[in-house]
Structure 1
Amino acid sequence: MVRAAQIAVCTLNQWAMDFDGNFRRILQSIQIAKDAGVTYRSGPELEISGYSCEDHFYESDTLLHSWQVLASLLKSSICEDILIDVGMPVMYKNVTYNCRVAFLNRKVLLIRPKMHLCEDGNYRERRWFSPWTKEKTVEDYFLPKVIAEITNQITVPFGDGVIATKDTCIGFEICEELWNPSSKHISMSLDAVEIISNGSGSYFELRKANVTVDLVKSASFKSGGCYMFSNLRGCDGARVYFNGGSSITLNGKILNRGKQFSLEEVEVVIATIDVDDIRSYRNSIRSRSHLAAKSDPYPRIHVDFYLTSERFYEHSLNKLLHLTDEDTDNSLILYHSPEEEILLAPACWLWDYLRRSCQGGFFLPLSGGVDSASTACIVYSMCCMVVESIEAGDMQALIDIRKIVGRQDYIPTDPKQLCNTILVTCYMATENSSVETKLRASSLASELGTHHESIVIDSAISAILAIFSQITKLKPNFKAKGGSPRENLALQNLQARTRMVISYLFAQLMLWAQGRPGGLLVLGSSNVDEALRGYFTKYDCSSADLNPIGGIAKNDLRRFLKYFRVKYNISSIDDILKAPPTAELEPLDNQQLHQLDETDMGMTYNELGIFGRIRKQYYAGPYSMFCKLVHVWHHIHPREVANKVKHFYRCYAINRHKMTILTPSCHAETYSPDDNRFDHRQFLYNHTWKWQFQAIDKKELQLSKEKFTPKIKNASERLSSTTRFLPVSPVDTTELKHI
């Protein structure tokens, strides 16, 4: 028999609350699918409203406008003769659900609410939605008037049902239901649901690209069937980047898959499947067949419509016959290295923010160190992607860049030229700055093509100090000149905060000075490890509009710069990587650096990464962290391990308040301390940790008396392999420096 169907999943770059733009992108995806002969199109999670509406989901307006968009889709001739499901919020019996709405030829077929909500990472779905708990049950939903007038329907099925066409059966999972241990695709497959559609809002995280691929392959391999995975793309208004990767998988083999990182707003992934392949595959798994024979049925909504057609059969058969398993996986599953992920994800996130904020570019304080250099390189990567997209014919990218630069005839010719147009970098020197850092900053700016300035800000700092001295009749001094620790710290912070004020002044007026409209977005460059440790001044130049690297670890940034240096032949990066990290806020010693970051912090960046992962990923407090590390760092005395853990947690507690004002950044590392979304812990601690530290002391004494004979030889394998044999620096047990 001939049972081939052409189906499509969509990757859309939606924007929370942008109902007009979201509607246009949905309609464009349907048009592309229909032109390709597709009979069933599915899209990402909450594509009508946008995923990150958050507390807007409480507003009746959000529900109303979602229905209005659906009404516009139902009325459009583009949506005729193609089965479509879209994602939107729906209120039923005064409860709001995250739903898929399936429709065909101006008839709503089914409203399927999400049954397992996501509550981890950056997700807080139960704040706005409730899960549908009535398994294999549908009830009557009374359609709003705006829809009923189009469909001539009073009620439609609402709940855990499936759609039975004349030739196959379609069921639904929504995002988290694929990840849940009790995934619905298992019970649906046992009840002969052959196509399972998942509208998802899965965001980017470093080194996690394989997770979704493994899940969809496993789901369709174990249960048989076709799994359609549609995912969002881009920054829709929050701190995450949705990374696409929509795919169609058949019986454990990926037939087609979309890109992860792209500026393309609408991407439609199409594949042809043979329904008989599903039936034969399932029937050959005898244990599955025995379970299916006694499975409870799902409510079926019967539809007078064929998904399959003879015109698709030859294409489907030829593709399957000429593709091996190795061909399918290698050609469609591209896993980027972490360095490539850093190159691409924050760049895409920046692009969405820039073009949707109606600003004219970026302003970046460029210090000549790894962090600000990484930020500049990410902007350059964004410029590369914009130029490549325009050269490939992406008209939306061209429209957007012309709006950004304020010229309707503008066409970027190369990334360096575009970088010069939209990125202003500035080295802000003080008497404590070295010649070397200034040269490193100017050399990198020259190679990237940024509009670069070097200024001296000592006069501004002196003016502020004069105000203080006028009132107090006192003049604070650095520690190196006889000042107290309080004076030393205040003088360091004054320099850092002055740079922030100057950054915003330049960002607001640089384009005015150039005769261009608009302003610049200020970019910060503080990494995730410094945030975790609190090693930055509150409201200094790390306080910005956006921080592309705020979710990335220092060691990952160093690896990224090495990759970037080779990829784009930027030789100035060599000197940046060789230079020791320094804030340059204290006086130079005979024109030589005196202040080094790792010495200041009392811990290395390697150690910070370990502390961060154990605290967040292994859910460890001070005592648990000590118990884990004492068996990993078995080459040092337990007392030294105890001192390191105590020092970290003391610094963490004193500086946790800084997490409440972190500049928004693109989420990347799994141990981010971002207080706003990802890491919900209090910001006022008893920094003595008296009870916890006493427990550590007791355990350390016990281990020392036993002469510390390691009892768990392979304990290090419980942690990331990167934590095993890292160097450990001496601990400075003094209180935190940068408050």
Structure 2
Amino acid sequence: MQSAAPNYITGQGQEVVNVRCRLQLLTTSQDRGPVLHKNVRYNCRVLFLNKKILLIRPKTAMANGGNYRELRWFTPWSKPREVEEHFLPRTIQKITGQETVPFGDAVLATKDTCIGSEICEELWLPNSPHIEMGLDGVEIFTNSSGSHHELRKAHIRVDLVRSATAKNGGIYLLSNLKGCDSDRLYFDGCAMISLNGDLVAQGAQFSLSDVEVLTATLDLEDVRGYRAHISSRCITASRVTSFHRVRVEFSLSSFDDIYTLTSNPIQWKYHSPEEEISLGPACWLWDYLRRSKQSGFLLPLSGGIDSSAAACIVYSMCCLVCEAIDLGNCEVLHDARQIVNDETYTPKSPQEFCKHILTTCYMSTENSSKETNDRAKLLAEQIGSYHLTPNVDTAVKAIVGVFSAVTGKIPQFRAHGGSGRENLALQNVQARIRMVTAYLFAQLSLWARGLPGGLLVLGSANVDESLRGYMTKYDCSSADLNPIGGISKTDLRSFIQYSVAKFQLPALTSIMTAPPTAELEPLTDGRVSQNDEDDMGMTYADLSVYGKLRKVVKTGPYSMFCKLLMAWRTLSPRQVAEKVKLFFRMYSINRHKMTTLTPSYHAESYSPDDNRFDLRPFLYNTAWPWQFRCIDEQVSSLEENRKEDGCEEVD
């Protein structure tokens, strides 16, 4: 390992000239997991070569917020720069021929370079390990990540990886999980390789392939030259505490590679939010469907934007499956044949495959309009789903009849002279009957057609409705999966517009322009009179603002009021106060519904699907006495100041 002219950049004692290294990155080979060291469970990355374990590197920072609770299982490694001896289990000893291996915060020193590892969350830290590793001469950083997809999140990952090598130089290889985690999250791949602040390789995002190999050919001398010319970096590096180096008798480069062309910088290609909605939930549904061994989906299709968006996502899934099969993906073809229970089957088109795996169901009542029925039917024809149109009035009247037989009372809608309680109860019974009907058809509709298997029920409540609680508990928003439960109404509208051209579905045009309605109250002259935003007392656009301020910015009623005073300057302080108080009143009244939300694709940072980890109460004091009093006092003070300034309040 010694040479006459030591290389002071890497500290390896190697003189390397014009070295180019070929780097390969497997986006799904996540070589990390639990390791019990001295009776403490650590989340570790295991680095190995030719059946020999080189280093077990424990994770130093746990992801412990939002969707992650690593501290439930793991302890972070809190001994920087320390390495201990780890005794391998006998089963592993038989394979590797090793009794002990290094365990701790170390790096690998090959014959030509130095390699360090970060693990997932560590890249997101303000003092990421790659900073001091780079100052200590580590030239290549690898990160086996488990970063889930959210809308508009890809640029954050890209910026983090690019900045990791921009100030300090080096090569960064980020791999990421692909597929669903058997839960709400979808890991979208999106692997990348960066050199000195430039991206040189981009992996696919939202691919149905289980494994992807990403390669780049890079020159280590580019790293050394880049670093040597940053004087401030060199001064800082001269004072850094060294990492323990595990020597590896291996070279990533060869002198024969001198004339090999190196990879050039690339411009990252981002998906639009509409494309992300089209691809992310579709891949999630496919992964869930093939792993659950079910035969398809049943979707209550109402003819509105939300259920139509869910139908388009399933159709997008069918398109992805057909594209993958056309490209020769044998695993996808095998999964498709398993789902339809036909070993000779090959999809002919997305519509033909959709007919096999998607059953749509328009469940009408006397309050349903012909317009929504026609819109649902036309969309089903265009995507190719197997469409059913059961009328559930008989079941609704039977349930109300049971109540009337016991109590002697016949509830009426408000339009027919009934009270608010009667009106709400009659709406809810329709919604809940639809949920029961959906599950009945999911279990038996294939049986009725002489086909094997059962169907997964899809829900279609958007993130804003869930946040507001604008749904009936245990109605047809209750399902097995919800592909749009983490997506706002605003984004869904944009997705519907995108789908018209992308998938050639003109039926969506009339769906997009129709006002959103639950169709649970009597029609007026045969037309819908109920409107979702009128019922909610707030717009979908406002709900997105409330959701982000509540969950992402962490505001309560008073803090939200203060922030919206400036954001909504066209409104008076009293108007802003009333809107904020209405939201928190309705949010707290309906918070109990959050405990029963259908598992949804997580696509938004303010998604209420945090019910898995949310330890706050679900029985609130809906009056918010202290917070609302503070808002009222602030409003009075602002109005008084305006009067003193000679300004009149505008209502």
The alignment's TM-score, normalised by the length of structure 2, stands at: 0.95
Aligned to 2:351: 416
Of the three residues 524, 548, 571, the one matched with 1:636 is 571
Determine if contact 1:412/1:418 at 8 Å carries over to the other structure. yes
Residue 610 of structure 1 and its aligned partner are, at CA, apart by 0.9
Range that drifts further, 594-603 or 474-483: 474-483
Of the three residues 416, 419, 423, the one matched with 1:484 is 419
Residue 147 of structure 1 and its aligned partner are, at CA, apart by 1.0
Determine if contact 1:272/1:312 at 8 Å carries over to the other structure. no
CA displacement, residues 18-75 of structure 1 (integer Å, 9 cap, x when unaligned): xxxxxxxxxxxxxxxxxxxxxxxxx4xxx3xxxxxxxxxxxxxxxxxxxxxxxxxxxx
- AA aligned opposite 1:197: T
CA displacement, residues 367-421 of structure 1 (integer Å, 9 cap, x when unaligned): 0000000000000000000000000010000000000001011100111111111
Aligned to 2:583: 648
CA displacement, residues 567-614 of structure 1 (integer Å, 9 cap, x when unaligned): 122111111111111101011112122211000000011111111111
Aligned to 1:5: 21
Aligned to 1:274: 219
Residue 311 of structure 1 and its aligned partner are, at CA, apart by 4.2
Aligned to 2:534: 599
Of the three residues 159, 164, 185, the one matched with 2:109 is 164
Residue 106 of structure 1 and its aligned partner are, at CA, apart by 2.3
Aligned to 1:223: 168
Q: 1: distance between equivalents of 2:352 and 2:257?
A: 47
Aligned to 1:434: 369
Aligned to 2:146: 201
Q: 1: distance between equivalents of 2:418 and 2:342?
A: 54
Of the three residues 391, 405, 426, the one matched with 2:326 is 391
Of the three residues 277, 291, 299, the one matched with 1:342 is 277
Aligned to 2:251: 306
CA displacement, residues 680-738 of structure 1 (integer Å, 9 cap, x when unaligned): 5331111110111001100010111122899xxxxxxxxxxxxxxxxxxx9xxxxxxxx
- AA aligned opposite 1:534: G
Alpha-carbon spacing, 1:313–1:508, altered in 2? closer, same or farther (3 Å): farther
Q: 2: distance between equivalents of 1:623 and 1:243?
A: 38
Q: 1: distance between equivalents of 2:616 and 2:510?
A: 39
Matched residue of 1:429: which SS? coil
Aligned to 1:253: 198
How many residues of Structure 1 are paired with residues of Structure 2 in the alignment? 630
Q: 2: distance between equivalents of 1:293 and 1:694?
A: 59
Of the three residues 251, 266, 282, the one matched with 1:329 is 266
Matched residue of 1:506: which SS? helix
Aligned to 2:66: 121
Residue 105 of structure 1 and its aligned partner are, at CA, apart by 2.2
Residue 343 of structure 1 and its aligned partner are, at CA, apart by 0.5
Aligned to 1:186: 131
Matched residue of 1:455: which SS? coil
Matched residue of 2:363: which SS? strand
Determine if contact 1:368/1:440 at 8 Å carries over to the other structure. yes
Q: 2: distance between equivalents of 1:394 and 1:236?
A: 22
Aligned to 1:683: 618
CA displacement, residues 209-235 of structure 1 (integer Å, 9 cap, x when unaligned): 111111111111111111111100110
1:8-19 equivalences in 2 (<5 Å): 8-12=24-28
Alpha-carbon spacing, 1:378–1:480, altered in 2? closer, same or farther (3 Å): same
Alpha-carbon spacing, 1:233–1:312, altered in 2? closer, same or farther (3 Å): farther
Q: 1: distance between equivalents of 2:172 and 2:610?
A: 36
- AA aligned opposite 1:319: T
- AA aligned opposite 1:9: L
CA displacement, residues 649-699 of structure 1 (integer Å, 9 cap, x when unaligned): 000000011111111111011111123346553311111101110011000
Aligned to 2:91: 146
1:57-76 equivalences in 2 (<5 Å): none
CA displacement, residues 82-133 of structure 1 (integer Å, 9 cap, x when unaligned): xxxx212111122111111111222211100001111232121112111101
Matched residue of 2:390: which SS? strand
CA displacement, residues 162-197 of structure 1 (integer Å, 9 cap, x when unaligned): 111111111111011111001111101111111111
CA displacement, residues 240-291 of structure 1 (integer Å, 9 cap, x when unaligned): 1111111111111222121111101000111122222211111111111111
Q: 2: distance between equivalents of 1:295 and 1:274?
A: 25
Determine if contact 2:463/2:608 at 8 Å carries over to the other structure. yes
**Structure 1 alignment gaps of length 5 or more:** 13-42, 48-85, 711-729, 731-739
Aligned to 1:611: 546
2:495 is the counterpart of 1:552: no
Alpha-carbon spacing, 1:603–1:567, altered in 2? closer, same or farther (3 Å): same
CA displacement, residues 423-474 of structure 1 (integer Å, 9 cap, x when unaligned): 0001111011111110111111111111111121100111112222221122
Alpha-carbon spacing, 1:484–1:402, altered in 2? closer, same or farther (3 Å): same
Matched residue of 2:190: which SS? coil
Range that drifts further, 431-440 or 285-294: 285-294
1:404-553 equivalences in 2 (<5 Å): 404-553=339-488
Determine if contact 2:56/2:104 at 8 Å carries over to the other structure. yes
Q: 1: distance between equivalents of 2:256 and 2:426?
A: 76
**Structure 2 alignment gaps of length 5 or more:** 1-16, 646-650
Matched residue of 1:266: which SS? coil
Aligned to 1:31: none
Determine if contact 1:263/1:397 at 8 Å carries over to the other structure. yes
Residue 633 of structure 1 and its aligned partner are, at CA, apart by 1.4
Q: 2: distance between equivalents of 1:98 and 1:311?
A: 39
Q: 2: distance between equivalents of 1:223 and 1:110?
A: 24
Aligned to 2:262: 319
Residue 531 of structure 1 and its aligned partner are, at CA, apart by 0.2
Determine if contact 2:66/2:610 at 8 Å carries over to the other structure. no
Q: 2: distance between equivalents of 1:709 and 1:601?
A: 36
Determine if contact 2:201/2:266 at 8 Å carries over to the other structure. no
Determine if contact 1:432/1:588 at 8 Å carries over to the other structure. yes
Determine if contact 2:482/2:598 at 8 Å carries over to the other structure. yes
CA RMSD of aligned residues (A): 1.5
- AA aligned opposite 2:27: T
Alpha-carbon spacing, 1:223–1:677, altered in 2? closer, same or farther (3 Å): farther
Determine if contact 1:202/1:231 at 8 Å carries over to the other structure. yes
Runs of 4+ more than 4 Å apart: none
Range that drifts further, 259-268 or 249-258: 249-258
